[in-house]
């Protein structure tokens, strides 16, 4: 039976619009079908043809129309409407897909956040508010669902982290819906410690600004402390590598100021100064020489230690330079030299051997 094989998808968008779809390519091969619907109860129904079809490769695969009541009957027929292929009557209120929550607010208190939204005018008790959140360190969303519309709270948020939040409304099953429909997610928002941000990328900027300011302040302070030390070291190095050249204008200031650079005039005027300086130097030199002679006489009066004088035969009788030179020569290897009537043996390793 073709009627039993068809399983249409029914969605009632916030009790405002109905959308009925079916798998046309699997159910109706190369055949276009027509759709009819009616609201109300009783035997005498007024069927309305679909005016807005949904297409799948140029074949009718669904119909979109206004919601006009709680009870709906649908009929899928062949292309000219003469043969009915599918019929179903149901409560349209059991297929409601709610709209996204409106006027969503976030209330922060320490590590706890409470999210709320406006209550719908009809059947608010059938709705639950679902909250999802995650930080930039989480891979998956964390979910919390309220027990009633329209507020949900969660605690344990780290004030140092940025969180993404999103909320939606869900219909209770099976009390209100036969199918679990939820609204689309409300626009995602980003929060950090109760402050709304444009994105969690701002979190990096907000945290990096104080770090940059602190780093720059420390760097400037360090430079202020180090600069005088480096300046002192540089002056020392500069003085050792490039010593300062004295300016001759200071020792010779009177040459240029008093004599207008006339060297002869300046020398004539300063002859007595040069002479006096020379006499003082000679006097100081004579005093130093006298002190040195006195020190030498004092040292000559002290007794000197006895020295043994070794002479060789013939050295005392011959006083000429040649005899003295012979006497100072080192004896040949294993030679015998007399000393005070005693022979002395000389070899290569020592000067004297007794």
Instruction: Tell me how far apart the alpha carbons of residues 207 and 193 are, in angstroms, rounded to a whole number.
Output: 13
Fold of 9-97: Immunoglobulin-like (2.60.40)
**Cis before 174 (ω within 30):** yes
pLDDT score, position 323: 45
**Overall CATH class of domain 105-197:** mainly beta
**pLDDT recorded at residue 210:** 66
DSSP state of 165: E
**Cβ density class 278-307: b for 16+ within 10 Å, e for less:** eeeeeeeeeeeeeeeeeeeeeeeeeeeeee
Helix (H) or strand (E) holding 220, with range, is helix 201-241
Do 51 and 41 form a contact (C-beta atoms < 8 A)? no
| Model confidence pLDDT, tens digit, residues 282-322 | 666 666 666 667 666 666 655 554 444 444 444 444 444 44
Q: What residues have CB less than 8 Å from 85, skipping those under 6 apart? A: 2, 3, 6, 28, 33, 76, 77, 78
CA distance 158 to 156: 6
Burial, 317: exposed, middle or buried (Cβ in 10 Å; 0-12, 13-18, 19+)?
A: exposed
Same fold, 9-97 and 105-197: yes
Give the residue ranges of the chain where pLDDT is below 50: 1-2, 4, 204-207, 305-333, 339-340, 342, 350-354
Give the dihedral sign, CA 53/56/62/65: negative
Q: Is 153 helix (H, G, I), strand (E, B) or coil?
A: strand
335 CB-contact burial (10 Å; exposed 0-12 / middle 13-18 / buried 19+): exposed
Mean pLDDT taken over the chain: 77
Residues in a beta bridge with 63: 20, 53
Q: Which token pair is 45?
A: 């129904």
All structural domains of the chain with their residue ranges: 9-97, 105-197
73: tokens are: 């009957």
Residues listed for the chain = 354
pLDDT at residue 81 in the model: 86
Total-model pTM? 0.55
Give me the sheet containing 84-91, strands edge to edge: 48-49, 34-39, 71-77, 84-91
How many other C-beta atoms can be found within 10 angstroms of the C-beta atom of residue 98? 25
> Quick one: tokens of 306?
């006895």
């Amino acid at each position: 039976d073709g009627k039993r094989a068809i399983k249409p998808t029914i969605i009632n968008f916030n009790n405002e619009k109905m959308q009925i779809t079916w798998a046309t390519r699997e159910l109706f091969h190369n055949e276009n079908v027509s759709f009819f619907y009616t609201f109300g109860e009783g035997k005498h129904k007024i069927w309305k043809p679909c005016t807005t079809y949904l297409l799948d490769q140029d074949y009718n695969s669904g119909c979109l129309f206004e919601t006009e009541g709680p009870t709906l009957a649908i009929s899928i027929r062949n292309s000219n409407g003469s043969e009915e292929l599918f019929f179903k009557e149901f409560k349209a209120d059991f297929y409601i897909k709610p709209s996204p929550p409106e006027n969503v607010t976030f209330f922060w208190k320490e590590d706890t956040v409470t999210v709320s939204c406006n209550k719908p005018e009809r059947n608010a008790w059938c709705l639950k508010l679902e909250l999802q959140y995650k930080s930039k360190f989480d891979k998956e969303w964390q979910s919390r669902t309220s027990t009633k519309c329209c507020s949900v709270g969660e605690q344990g948020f780290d004030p140092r982290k940025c969180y993404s939040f999103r909320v939606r409304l869900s219909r209770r099953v099976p009390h209100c819906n036969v199918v679990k429909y939820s609204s689309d997610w409300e626009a995602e928002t980003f929060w950090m410690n109760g402050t709304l941000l444009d994105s969690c990328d701002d979190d990096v900027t907000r945290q990096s600004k104080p770090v940059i300011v602190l780093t720059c302040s420390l760097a400037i302070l360090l430079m202020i402390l180090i600069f005088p030390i480096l300046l002192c070291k540089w002056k020392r190095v500069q003085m050792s590598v490039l010593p300062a050249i004295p300016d001759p204008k200071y020792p010779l200031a009177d040459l240029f100021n008093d004599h207008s650079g006339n060297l002869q005039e300046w020398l004539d005027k300063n002859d007595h100064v040069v002479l006096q300086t020379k006499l003082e130097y000679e006097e100081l030199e004579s005093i130093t020489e006298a002190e040195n002679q006195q020190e030498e006489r004092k040292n000559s009066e002290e007794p000197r230690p006895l020295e043994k004088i070794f002479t060789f035969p013939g050295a005392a009788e011959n006083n000429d330079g040649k005899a003295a030179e012979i006497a100072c020569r080192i004896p040949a290897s294993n030679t015998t030299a007399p000393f005070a009537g005693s022979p002395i043996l000389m070899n290569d390793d020592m000067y004297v051997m007794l």
